[in-house]
Structure 1
Amino acid sequence: MRRTLAVTALLLLAVFIAACGSSESGSETTGTSTATTSAGGGDAAYLEENAALVERYLSEKGTFLPPPERSPRPQAGKHIALVSCGQTVIPSCGLEINAAREAAEALGWRTTLIDAANGDPVSTGPGIQNAVAQRVDGIFTYYVDCEYIREPLQAARDAGIPVVNSNGRDCDQSDSAAPSLFTYTIRYNAGDGSFQEWVDEVSIAQARYAIDKLDGEAHIGFATDSTSAASVAVGRTVEAAVKECGGCSIELLLFPIGDIGTRLQGKAESFLLKNADVNTVIPAYSAIMQGGLIGAIQTARRDLLVSVGEGLPEGIALIRDGKAQYGYGLSYGWEGYAAIDSLNRILNEEDPDVNSGIGVKLFDEEHDFPSGDDWVPPYDYQALYRKAWGVDQ
């Protein structure tokens, strides 16, 4: 897969190895890392290189590529289970699962929804077991780490039912002695194509933007949940990357995913008041910003450079209202379509290992700011996937 610049790829590889030893899922911690190797905001060569990377991310297409040009003719009548991380707790869960349902229906497939109660990934286990008992043809899991549903996934594997994953870590990523239980995880246009490398890059890109805007004196508050192992790992990855900037620092705010809402706002307010030197706030994803973080910012600290996370309508509105300045582009619909494309390939006994084309793209009011309510990806992925599948629009 694509392209990540050589320097960025080396950085991400190094920090990802370190991130694999991150704190336990479900824990709640506030971590600190400070690097000030030079008083004037860092090394000039570093800042120049950083600015070039930010310019690339702000370009028209960023690092996005079009989705695959071809896919096998779908077999109608399949039945698949869609496993959501929480349709109402995290809006992005609903967006991705609904897009996957739309794509599946375009192929003539029937779907069954399995939803995480209050965002608890363990609660999806009985539904997956039931889907296996019903002999579904395939399963798609979104933002649910393998470790929480190991037994149901093993049951699916034993039954020969393929499981495609998006935004979750496989069991062997959390425990090197454990088997891989996801049949396939969709690939991105980042580093080695893994979700972890993509989410690392998109998160570091937001930190790089702050470093560039604040001339190497970014003091970042990075907020992410501690329920997902991938989320914890990316926090540690960003932490390590920011250390490369002399004059920058970072504080991590980690919290259980169930805290999103009132509990998160209270914790975030305390975090911002305690860390008075923080001048930038970055959420791992937009639900964190909308689910308490923006309320804390408006109550405790308004003098901040703020990323809204993904370019969802609520985040776009915050930028228009002057409450935030930038974000990154991600189409959950594209991920949902890519997952169904992967299942289609597997069910046709084809290799699913293709580049989805999903890359990294930053935007602000001066660079490709959405004209409507939503960020629009640089390619019409729905039309391109339907063309590849040979189905009507």
Structure 2
Amino acid sequence: MSSSRLAVLTAVLALALTACSGLSAAPKPTKSSVDYGAQAMQATQAAISGTYHEPSAQPRPAAPGKKLAVISSGQNAISSLVPANSVMEAAHAIGWDAQLYDGKLDPKSWPALVSQAVASGVQGIVLVAVDCPAVAKPLAEAKAKGIKIVGIFAFDCNDPLFGGNGPALFSSYVDFGPPVNRNIDDFSDLYGADQANTTIAQTNGAAKVVLVTDNEFTSIRHVVEGFRNTIAKCATCSVVGEVDIKAADLTTPNAEAAVEKALREHPNANAVKSPYTAATLAAVSPAVLKVNRAASLYVMGGEGFEPELDLIRKHQGVSAVTIIPSDWYGWAAVDTVNSLFIGQEPADSGLGWQLIDDEVNPPSNNAYKPTIDFRGAYRAAWGKTG
């Protein structure tokens, strides 16, 4: 984020900001773009500071002798690799036996992996970017056996985006703290809303967005819903073009070509929203550079994994990212499973996000690290210090 632009926006919107509320809920629609711009700026300022906080200090003694299965949608995707590996790290820290099952981004293989985990005698399963409907049958068998089931970027069979009529097979969700607690739908929606708020603020309340989506992933659909609804609250903002890519297209020229086409068809666009890091790397950044618009487009990236941060540092078609620490999410999932084992309600994980660009919270030459020692906090709660 340009610090000079932030200063100008803050000065212009200062009076309106005094009337704005906090981030406990998405701002309400308003007919005045200046009024909404003030709310967008307030949300942006909060995202700069970081919306996460310390995990609950409530004692949650480690359940002994447990066996955990981690079902990853595919270790060949960094979006699954990082949280899945962090679940394994946390499971070993708490003293459990853990096995990682790699779905290799092949949904047809996922049910068999869940069945294998159930047959191996696990007491807990963590699904990483594997939605319930894709593995409903073996997951129902796991639930019948009393196996605790928790997801990371994964949604239960009764989610509204699946029609809302399926069985609830997850044991619980990670607790994200107020205001959403264990509602991953609202957490994802608010995350997308914050990305939109920053885009609105950075375009002086006049965002014209090319929205890149991947509707095969439920988490992306929720984030996009939050983003789209928030852009609609700004009277002088709009989504001028939309591109729905698929993960399989990222290994071909198709995804980049589709984004490039949208950018050429919408020369009035001043912003781009990417769905996730892999799409940024394979399609969004290359397309922005190819049309020679890196300097004129505000590009909101994906999850902010290390390769995406590199693009920000080098000014190669990415302006900013809003990072939910995926390694923290992995530890929070293990903490949630442990709470279920010992008969407690899942504790507040403290999870949130932080805005990163080349001037505000500029990335180092490594992966992102939050300012909070969440690993130490969880070890203390589990009685695993020393």
TM-score normalised to structure 1 length: 0.85
- Corresponding residue for residue 325 of structure 1: 319
Instruction: Sort the Cα spacing of 1:189 and 1:296 in 2 relative to 1 into closer, same or farther, 3 A.
Output: farther
Query: Are the aligned partners of 2:188 and 2:226 in contact in 1 as well (CA < 8 Å)?
Result: no
1:144-187 CA-to-partner distances (Å, cap 9, x unmatched) read 11111111110101111111112112111123221111111112
Q: Structure 2 residue aligned with 1:334, among 311, 324, 328?
A: 328
- Corresponding residue for residue 94 of structure 2: 107
Is 1:315 the counterpart of 2:301? The answer is: no
Q: Structure 1 residue aligned with 2:54, among 41, 66, 73?
A: 66
Q: Structure 1 residue aligned with 2:275, among 263, 281, 284?
A: 284
Structure 1 stretches (4+) deviating beyond 4 angstroms?
Answer: none
Whole-angstrom CA distance in 1 between matches of 2:337 and 2:28 = 32
Q: Structure 2 residue aligned with 1:267, among 254, 258, 276?
A: 258
SS in 1 for 2:233: coil
Whole-angstrom CA distance in 2 between matches of 1:195 and 1:347 = 21
SS in 1 for 2:301: strand
Residue 257 of structure 1 and its aligned partner are, at CA, apart by 2.6
How do 1:1-393 residues align onto structure 2 when only pairs under 5 Å count?
A: 5-8=23-26, 43-59=33-49, 62-88=50-76, 90-117=77-104, 119-173=105-159, 174-189=162-177, 191-193=179-181, 194-250=183-239, 251-262=241-252, 263-302=254-293, 303-323=296-316, 324-352=318-346, 354-392=347-385
Instruction: Kindly provide the amino acid, as one letter, of the partner of residue 248 in structure 2.
Output: G
Residue 224 of structure 1 and its aligned partner are, at CA, apart by 2.3
Query: Are the aligned partners of 1:329 and 1:362 in contact in 2 as well (CA < 8 Å)?
Result: yes
Instruction: Sort the Cα spacing of 1:10 and 1:109 in 2 relative to 1 into closer, same or farther, 3 A.
Output: farther
Instruction: Kindly provide the amino acid, as one letter, of the partner of residue 155 in structure 1.
Output: E
1:187-234 CA-to-partner distances (Å, cap 9, x unmatched) read 224632322222222222122112112111111122221112232233
Unaligned runs of 5+ in 2: 1-20
Instruction: Sort the Cα spacing of 1:307 and 1:156 in 2 relative to 1 into closer, same or farther, 3 A.
Output: same
SS in 2 for 1:359: coil
Unaligned runs of 5+ in 1: 12-36
SS in 1 for 2:338: helix
Query: Are the aligned partners of 1:172 and 1:180 in contact in 2 as well (CA < 8 Å)?
Result: yes
Instruction: Kindly provide the amino acid, as one letter, of the partner of residue 264 in structure 1.
Output: A
Residue 237 of structure 1 and its aligned partner are, at CA, apart by 3.0
SS in 1 for 2:366: coil
SS in 2 for 1:8: coil
Instruction: Kindly provide the amino acid, as one letter, of the partner of residue 136 in structure 1.
Output: V
Whole-angstrom CA distance in 2 between matches of 1:93 and 1:6 = 29
Whole-angstrom CA distance in 2 between matches of 1:227 and 1:4 = 33
Instruction: Kindly provide the amino acid, as one letter, of the partner of residue 257 in structure 2.
Output: G
SS in 2 for 1:185: coil
Instruction: Kindly provide the amino acid, as one letter, of the partner of residue 232 in structure 1.
Output: R
Query: Are the aligned partners of 2:190 and 2:223 in contact in 1 as well (CA < 8 Å)?
Result: no
SS in 2 for 1:148: helix
Whole-angstrom CA distance in 2 between matches of 1:371 and 1:357 = 23
Residue 120 of structure 1 and its aligned partner are, at CA, apart by 3.0
Residue 355 of structure 1 and its aligned partner are, at CA, apart by 1.7
SS in 2 for 1:222: strand
Residue 328 of structure 1 and its aligned partner are, at CA, apart by 1.2
Whole-angstrom CA distance in 1 between matches of 2:367 and 2:106 = 28
Higher relative contact order (CA 8 A, sep 6+): 1
1:322-341 CA-to-partner distances (Å, cap 9, x unmatched) read 12221112211100000001
SS in 1 for 2:63: coil
1:87-134 CA-to-partner distances (Å, cap 9, x unmatched) read 11x2021110101101101122111222223x2334211010121122
SS in 2 for 1:309: coil
Instruction: Sort the Cα spacing of 1:319 and 1:124 in 2 relative to 1 into closer, same or farther, 3 A.
Output: same
Q: Tell me the matched-pair count.
A: 358
Residue 392 of structure 1 and its aligned partner are, at CA, apart by 4.0
Of residues 206-215 and 136-145 in structure 1, the stretch that sits farther from structure 2 once superposed is 206-215
